[in-house]
Amino acid sequence: MCLILIAYQTHPAFRLVVGANRDEFFGRPTAPADFWQDAPDVLAGRDLQAQGTWLGITRDLRFAALTNFRDMRATQTSARSRGELTSEFLRGDKPAEEYLEGVGRRASEYNGFNLFVADTTGLFYFSNRDGKARKLGPGTYGLSNHLLDTPWPKVTELKPRLDAAIREPLDPESIRNILADRGVAPDEFLPDTGVGVERERMLSAAFVISDTYGTRSTTALSVSADRQVRFNEWSFGPGGGLLGQREFAFVAR
């Protein structure tokens, strides 16, 4: 997952609104969003290589989402799969803050990551690149492959667009359209994460396109004030072609 936008308690009609793009190699086997057979309360896509997920929600409103922290100069080849952090939270019952305390004790076993977890006690954020778990107040947040709200162009440009979409009658397609932005940032605004300027240029787009690596899925998720959950996922192939769409709606317990 390489871009997450979250509006948390910014509108009286919604507890949570999320828009997210998952960027990954097209060769990595993936299952689209569904309720898991081995964890029927969990709704999420699934990485079939390591059995984790990048984003999901449960029937009792446990939410988790993950991005990698991109720094190719500090990569461990023997690190644990970061996708287990989200799936473990979704399948468990520990309160969000307590769960992150446990993650903090083993954070060095993973390559760089950013993790959102939420339950009825609140929304929390943790990265093993700054080591501080934070409870987040009402607001709009953006996360790519650096720390929370790092002002990469696609973060700073798209957060206000999510705010605007929530002020209108909320439509999952409007969230998808925000995340479909293929504009590339000017070179002077590119970070240096060790992948070279050409790849930084490609990765600066909200919707990443190439033949081997790119945006594999877009997710639009909303949780209303009366606990109605709406989850839409669009899947894409090389070149950005649409492969399929899934839609789920339920009232949380």
Please check the confidence at residue 248 and state whether its pLDDT lies above 80. Answer: yes
Instruction: Please report the pLDDT score of residue 132 as a whole number.
Output: 87
CA atoms within 13 A on the CB side of 75: 11
Instruction: Please report the pLDDT score of residue 1 as a whole number.
Output: 65
Q: Which amino acid is at 33?
A: A
CATH topology of domain 3-251: Penicillin V Acylase; Chain A (3.60.60)
Please check the confidence at residue 65 and state whether its pLDDT lies above 80. Answer: yes
Q: How confident is the model at residue 74 (pLDDT cuts 50, 70, 90)?
A: confident
Question: Mean pLDDT over residues 207-222, rounded?
Answer: 97
Q: What is d(CA 116, CA 43) in angstroms, rounded to the nearest whole number?
A: 16
* Residue boundaries of the structural domains of the chain: 3-251
How does 64-92 read in b/e, with b if 16+ C-beta sit within 10 Å? bbbbbbbbeeeeeeeeeebbbbbbbbbbe
Residue 245, phi then psi, degrees to nearest 5: -140, 145
Question: Mean pLDDT over residues 75-80, rounded?
Answer: 90
> Sheet holding 122-127: strands in order across?
30-36, 39-47, 55-58, 63-68, 113-119, 122-127, 134-136
Question: Mean pLDDT over residues 112-139, rounded?
Answer: 96
Q: Which amino acid is at 59?
A: R
- Please state whether 187 falls in left (phi above 0), alpha (psi between -120 and 50) or beta: alpha
Please check the confidence at residue 97 and state whether its pLDDT lies above 90. Answer: yes
Residue indicated by tokens 């100069």: 73
Question: Mean pLDDT over residues 142-150, rounded?
Answer: 97
Instruction: Please report the pLDDT score of residue 148 as a whole number.
Output: 98
- The residue among 54, 20, 27 whose CA lies nearest residue 211 is 27
Q: Are 24 and 213 in contact (CB under 8 A)?
A: yes
Compute the chain's Rg from CA coordinates. Answer: 17
Tell me: the pLDDT tens digits for 194-210? 999 999 999 999 999 99
Please check the confidence at residue 68 and state whether its pLDDT lies above 80. Answer: yes
Average of per-residue pLDDT values in the chain = 97
Please check the confidence at residue 86 and state whether its pLDDT lies above 80. Answer: yes
Specify which residues 43 forms β-bridges with: 35, 57
Residue 135, number of CB atoms within 10 A of its CB: 12
Tell me: the pLDDT tens digits for 148-180? 999 999 999 999 999 999 999 999 999 999 999
Residue 251 CA to its chain's centroid (Å): 22
Q: Are 103 and 126 in contact (CB under 8 A)?
A: yes
Instruction: Please report the pLDDT score of residue 91 as a whole number.
Output: 98
Q: Are 176 and 220 in contact (CB under 8 A)?
A: yes
Q: How confident is the model at residue 75 (pLDDT cuts 50, 70, 90)?
A: confident
Please check the confidence at residue 224 and state whether its pLDDT lies above 70. Answer: yes
Instruction: Please report the pLDDT score of residue 225 as a whole number.
Output: 97
Give percent above pLDDT 90 in the chain. Answer: 96
Specify which residues 218 forms β-bridges with: 21, 234
Give CA angle at 207 (206, 212), nearest 5°: 130
Q: How confident is the model at residue 242 (pLDDT cuts 50, 70, 90)?
A: very high
Q: How confident is the model at residue 127 (pLDDT cuts 50, 70, 90)?
A: very high
Q: What is the dihedral of CA 212, 146, 160, 21, to 10 degrees?
A: 30
